[in-house]
């Protein structure tokens, strides 16, 4: 029995003994099994002491051990790991699907499962609120929630189609709404709320997406190190050349003023493949090809607008005006979307003011025209994004007649405090104030309802109510947003300064409002407060806002001339984005401000959230550099303050930190009392009271409800856990003692039985073996005796040795017949005839092979004796060619039957060529016309090549004068291709006088013969073997530099050996066959 067996049995016994069956109540904040073997505190409600430092220390400890999720009751805190962790996928989905919220480690799947099960089983509409800084992982968290819900809900063709459409909305919205920022490579620059609608079975029917406050200023300007929205880079990188031509775009991002030139690519992000994924996602959602084309045309229009350059001009009366520097950009835009270029140019450079009685056209100066151009670009992109969201909603919407349940997922910006906070940060922080208000009110409401159900008196909880801050911002008559709208709408001189003065006058006594004026009135000095700033004391800390551009950003005006110009476009999508441009629908009424629109959207969102059961995910960014394993305590402390984590814990612990059903509590802690252990047959509440009475716990620490026990301090819970741990150790020791005794007794009994059985089998087997040996010996002796008697009886009838004589005679007769038959059937004396008769018997195989070898050698000797010295020389040259080129060069097989001539230019019969022969160089072995390749430009020129025993001579083909004489000792090697061409390179040693000029690249029609004879000449002259390299790519030395020659076979190459040379740069020559 293995040594690990006791531990395994003990573990099984303890699991069966003390397994906790957690209550399904949502109010139960912790399954106590999490305290065993957990890293840090898995639920911050049980954190002791409850301080910022201990909270950060606990988060850091869990993060460093790759535990990124922590609970605050039913709130999930998620720390971005910046790496892929093996805690996701179908295996973990199935695991968390079968357990309740607190039964396993904290995980986003647990929260998603709790929300989905509450929606499906209890028929409660749910919402999941995901907040945090940019880069904290909000988008990934929303994807994980949606993927979990898609995995656990129903199956079917229609259901799968709906799930696919919901999931494919992410790539589209990320392409048009996400961008690279300093903090995050895929930062959502808009808020998103998605309602996923289900039927009564829990299968998805569709959904509705609501977007909030797209950061459209990014369209025209980005900070250093940031990018514009992903779609622009995806379009330029992933679109085909044909599509780019149709959109009048170029692939390089450097050609567009609206794209930051510092950062055009993002590590780990493939814009081209993302563009294809975005197009596929739009097709899955239901966009038609025409709609996709129109969307891309409008996107290209925004890019092209940034390249419209404006210049200073003056009217006849000297008034400053503006004009288009180069009309090409405007014409391309007009052609692409079907606009009148002159009308568009006029709308960009002038403005029409209308009253009830007259119209006045005013020329815009350069600054005003640039503002109008950028405002148009921002409005087009913002309206395009809203149209895409609306179009997705049309595809995934649910019919009005179907009864449905709803789960909302809110992915929205977290609380922001930047160095320079403007209008965007103001409305974002206002939204977070409202979300904090919802959290506190709903949490306290749940606590109060549970207290009433359990019959426990409700005591007022002391907490910070941020309603006064919300009222400061959103009050209809005296709120900051109302004052901003009033300042934007009133006549007269309006500026950011007058707006700040109005705030100072209205809120100078407000406890949560500060400015330079209010500080001076109270005789306070703060150098961080600027003259154009005001400060609000939010729940997460004080934030100083700079009022510059508040008026412009709140107005968000677009001149009517531009709206009318866009409405006249032939592109249906662009036309639909500007309905106010229709003269029939023209209105002099001022459109609502950005602040008013956002306030209205937040109000609708809050009403939506109040109607659902909320679930919270607080996302935290551990460091600014997106590095895995790095935890910046200062950064996390700031985010913990913004997210109000400590405030959340205090609200949770305002009454009782822990509550649990009597049955679950008794099941876990019954081993602490001799009365309830091991069995308790009474009422569950009575058993719990007996346990706590024997442990002498104070009545102030414990309160008994109708179905649950409530514990005020985590210390009491930790005391119970410690007592339980000690008791388990005692029980484990007892179980181990009993088990070890039982195991020893059982082992002894098994050993005794085994010994008796083995002894009996051994004795029996030994006797069987002894009997078998005796029997075998007797049979052997009997066999020998019978054989001896038989041989003695028959020996007198036969002569001794007759058998050997007969055998020898028979063998010799067979051998004689074999040799005589072989003599009469010998094959021909042709050395190429490989025929040979087979041996009649296997015993003659060796002798037959040896005879065949001797006969072949005799034929070869006879053939060799008949050859003349010239024929011997020719065969040796052919043998050398075979060794060098057989199986390596395609031209070799054609050269085998053709004899080597040596003289291919008529050297003997031409008097002009006689002077080329020189006695000092020796006899000429090869004389032929070759082509010398110029290494500089690839052109060829004819040369006569003479090969002697000691030299290679290159001669002018026209003047018959020696150009170059190369000693064979200077030839270092030869490179030749494997094709049927005659290209080869003579590599010369650098130390020789000729070799200092470089190598020679030549083309010969008899390259096999030339190189074979050169190889033999080098061997005879220098007693070394010439290195012949067969390759398609080799290097040719040219004075101080090298040229790489690459030989390729062209697409129409038929192997006829014709070559074409093409220079590729300064160091490469391409030869096409």
* Token reading at 892: 């070799």
Dihedral angle, C-alpha 420, 423, 428, 429, nearest 10 °: 70
Sign of CA dihedral 722, 727, 730, 734: negative
Q: What is the largest CA-CA distance in the chain?
A: 158
* Token reading at 1059: 């070559």
Q: Is omega for the bond preceding 499 within 30 degrees of 0, making it cis?
A: no
* Token reading at 467: 């309603």
The residues assigned a catalytic role are: 134-135, 139, 184, 187-188, 414, 416
Residue 963 burial (CB count, 10 A): 13
Task: Say if residues 963 and 926 touch (Cβ distance below 8 Å).
Answer: no
Whole-number Å distance between alpha carbons of 375 and 378: 5
Task: Say if residues 1045 and 1034 touch (Cβ distance below 8 Å).
Answer: yes
Task: Say if residues 210 and 161 touch (Cβ distance below 8 Å).
Answer: no
* Alpha-carbon separation of residue 239 from 236, 242, 260, 299 (angstroms): 6, 8, 20, 13
* Token reading at 606: 């809050």
Tokens 């007649």 locate to: 401
Angle at 17 between CA 15 and CA 20, to 5 degrees: 70
Angle at 418 between CA 415 and CA 420, to 5 degrees: 135
* Token reading at 300: 């290209």
3-state helix, strand, coil in the chain (%, to 5): 50, 15, 35
* Token reading at 167: 């999931």
Whole-number Å distance between alpha carbons of 1072 and 31: 77
Whole-number Å distance between alpha carbons of 703 and 697: 11
Tokens 């390249």 locate to: 307
DSSP reduced 3-state for 880: helix
Task: Say if residues 678 and 78 touch (Cβ distance below 8 Å).
Answer: no
Interhelix angle for 157-177 vs 271-285, to 10°?
Answer: 140
Whole-number Å distance between alpha carbons of 944 and 963: 10
* Alpha-carbon separation of residue 687 from 24, 289, 507, 932 (angstroms): 21, 70, 60, 108
Strands 533-538 vs 541-546: parallel, antiparallel or unpaired: antiparallel
Residue 862 burial (CB count, 10 A): 11
DSSP conformation letters of 768-798: HHHHHHHHHHHHHHHHHHHHHHHHHHHGGGS
DSSP conformation letters of 701-768: TEEE-SSEEEE--HHHHHHHHHHHHHHHHHHHHHHHHHHHHHHHHHHHHHHHHHHHHHHHHHHHHHHH
Query: Which regions of 630-716 does DSSP assign to beta strands (E)?
Result: 658-661, 702-704, 708-711
* Token reading at 218: 């990014």
Whole-number Å distance between alpha carbons of 105 and 62: 12
* Alpha-carbon separation of residue 256 from 251, 333, 338, 726, 801 (angstroms): 10, 14, 22, 71, 114
């Amino acid at each position: 029995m293995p040594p690990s067996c006791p531990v395994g049995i003990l573990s099984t016994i303890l699991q069966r003994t003390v397994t906790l069956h957690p209550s399904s109540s949502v109010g139960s904040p912790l399954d106590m099994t999490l305290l065993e073997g957990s890293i840090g505190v898995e639920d911050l409600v049980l954190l002791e002491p409850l301080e910022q430092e201990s909270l950060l220390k606990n988060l850091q400890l869990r993060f460093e051990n790759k535990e990124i999720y922590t609970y605050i009751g039913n709130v999930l805190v998620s720390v971005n790991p910046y790496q892929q962790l093996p805690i996701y996928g179908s295996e973990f989905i199935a695991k968390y699907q079968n357990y309740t919220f607190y039964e396993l480690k904290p995980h986003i799947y647990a929260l998603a499962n709790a929300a989905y099960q509450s929606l499906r089983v209890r028929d409660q509409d749910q919402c999941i609120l995901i907040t945090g800084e940019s880069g904290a992982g909000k988008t990934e968290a929303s994807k994980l929630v949606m993927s979990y819900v898609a995995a656990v809900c129903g199956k079917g063709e229609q259901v799968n189609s709906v799930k696919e459409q919901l999931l494919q909305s992410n790539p589209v919205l990320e392409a048009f709404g996400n961008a690279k920022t300093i903090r995050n490579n895929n930062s959502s620059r808009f808020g998103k709320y998605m309602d996923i609608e289900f039927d009564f079975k829990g299968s998805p029917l569709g959904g509705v997406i609501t977007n909030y406050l797209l950061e459209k200023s990014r369209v025209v300007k980005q900070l250093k190190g940031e990018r514009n929205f992903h779609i622009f880079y995806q379009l330029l990188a992933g679109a085909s050349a044909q599509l780019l031509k149709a959109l009048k775009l170029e692939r390089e991002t450097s050609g567009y003023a609206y794209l930051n030139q510092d950062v055009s690519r993002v590590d780990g992000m493939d814009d081209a493949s993302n563009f294809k994924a975005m197009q596929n996602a739009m097709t899955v959602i239901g966009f038609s090809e025409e709609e996709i084309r129109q969307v891309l045309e409008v996107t290209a229009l925004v890019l092209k607008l940034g390249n419209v350059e404006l210049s200073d001009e003056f009217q006849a009366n000297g008034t400053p005006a503006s004009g288009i520097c180069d009309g090409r950009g405007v014409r391309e835009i007009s052609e692409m979307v079907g606009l009148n270029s002159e009308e568009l140019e006029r709308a960009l450079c002038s403005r029409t003011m209308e009253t009830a009685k007259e119209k006045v056209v005013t020329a815009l100066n350069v600054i005003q025209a640039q503002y109008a151009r950028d405002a148009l670009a921002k409005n087009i992109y913002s309206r395009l994004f809203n149209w895409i969201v609306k179009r997705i909603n049309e595809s995934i919407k649910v019919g009005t007649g179907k009864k449905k349940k709803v789960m909302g997922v809110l992915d929205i910006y977290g609380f922001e405090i930047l160095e320079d906070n403007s209008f965007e940060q103001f409305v974002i922080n206002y939204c977070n104030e409202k979300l904090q208000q919802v959290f506190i009110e709903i949490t306290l409401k749940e606590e109060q309802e549970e207290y009433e159900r359990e019959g426990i008196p409700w005591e007022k909880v002391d907490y910070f109510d941020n309603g006064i801050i919300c009222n400061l911002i959103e009050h209809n008559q005296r709120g900051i947003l109302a004052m901003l709208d009033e300042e934007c709408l009133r006549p007269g001189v309006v500026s950011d300064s007058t707006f700040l003065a109005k705030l100072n006058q209205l809120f100078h006594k407000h406890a949560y409002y500060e400015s330079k004026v209010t500080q001076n009135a109270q005789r306070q000095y703060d150098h961080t407060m600027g003259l154009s700033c005001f400060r609000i004391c939010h729940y997460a800390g004080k934030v100083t806002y700079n009022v510059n551009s508040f008026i412009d950003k709140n107005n968000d005006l677009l001149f009517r001339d531009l709206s009318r110009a866009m409405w006249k476009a032939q592109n249906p999508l662009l036309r639909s984005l500007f309905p106010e441009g229709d003269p029939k629908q023209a209105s002099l009424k001022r459109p609502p401000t950005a602040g008013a629109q956002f306030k209205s959207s937040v109000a609708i969102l809050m009403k939506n959230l109040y109607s659902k059961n909320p679930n919270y995910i607080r996302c935290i960014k551990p460091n600014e550099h997106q590095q895995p394993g790095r935890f910046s305590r200062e950064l996390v402390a700031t985010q913990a303050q913004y997210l109000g984590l400590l405030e959340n814990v205090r609200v949770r612990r305002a009454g009782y930190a822990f509550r649990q059903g009597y049955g679950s509590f008794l099941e876990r802690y019954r081993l602490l009392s001799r009365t309830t252990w091991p069995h308790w047959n009474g009422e569950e509440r009575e058993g719990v009271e007996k346990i706590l009475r024997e442990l002498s716990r104070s009545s102030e620490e414990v309160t008994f409800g109708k179905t649950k026990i409530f514990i005020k301090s985590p210390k009491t819970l930790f005391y119970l856990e410690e007592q339980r741990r000690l008791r388990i150790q005692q029980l484990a020791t007892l179980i181990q003692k009993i088990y070890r005794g039982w195991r020893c007794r059982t082992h002894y009994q098994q050993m005794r039985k085994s010994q008796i059985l083995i002894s009996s089998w051994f004795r029996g087997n030994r006797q069987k073996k002894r009997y078998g040996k005796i029997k075998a010996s007797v049979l052997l002796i009997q066999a020998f005796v019978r054989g001896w008697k038989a041989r003695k009886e028959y020996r007198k009838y036969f002569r001794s040795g007759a058998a050997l004589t007969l055998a020898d005679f028979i063998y010799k007769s067979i051998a004689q017949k074999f040799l005589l038959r072989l003599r009469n059937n010998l094959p021909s004396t042709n050395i190429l005839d490989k025929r040979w008769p087979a041996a009649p018997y296997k015993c003659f195989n060796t002798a037959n092979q040896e005879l065949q070898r001797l006969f072949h050698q005799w034929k070869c000797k006879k053939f060799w004796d008949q050859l003349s010295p010239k024929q011997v020389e020719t065969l040796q040259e052919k043998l050398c060619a075979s060794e060098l080129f057989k199986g390596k060069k395609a031209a070799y097989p054609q050269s085998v039957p053709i004899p080597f001539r040596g003289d291919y230019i008529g050297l003997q019969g031409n008097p002009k060529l006689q002077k080329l022969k020189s006695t000092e160089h020796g006899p000429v072995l090869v004389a032929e016309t070759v082509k010398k390749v110029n290494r500089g430009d690839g052109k060829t020129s004819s040369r006569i090549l003479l090969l002697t025993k000691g030299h290679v001579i290159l001669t002018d083909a026209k003047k018959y004068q020696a150009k170059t004489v190369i000693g064979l000792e200077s030839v270092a090697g030869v490179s030749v291709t494997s094709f049927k061409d005659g290209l080869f390179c003579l590599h010369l040693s650098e130390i020789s006088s000729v070799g200092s000029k470089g190598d020679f690249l030549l083309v010969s029609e008899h390259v096999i013969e030339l190189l074979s004879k050169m190889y033999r000449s080098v061997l005879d002259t220098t007693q070394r073997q010439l290195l012949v390299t067969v390759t398609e790519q080799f290097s040719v030395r040219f004075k101080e530099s090298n040229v790489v020659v690459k030989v390729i076979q062209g697409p129409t190459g038929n192997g006829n050996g014709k070559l074409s040379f093409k220079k590729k740069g300064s160091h490469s020559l391409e030869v096409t066959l």
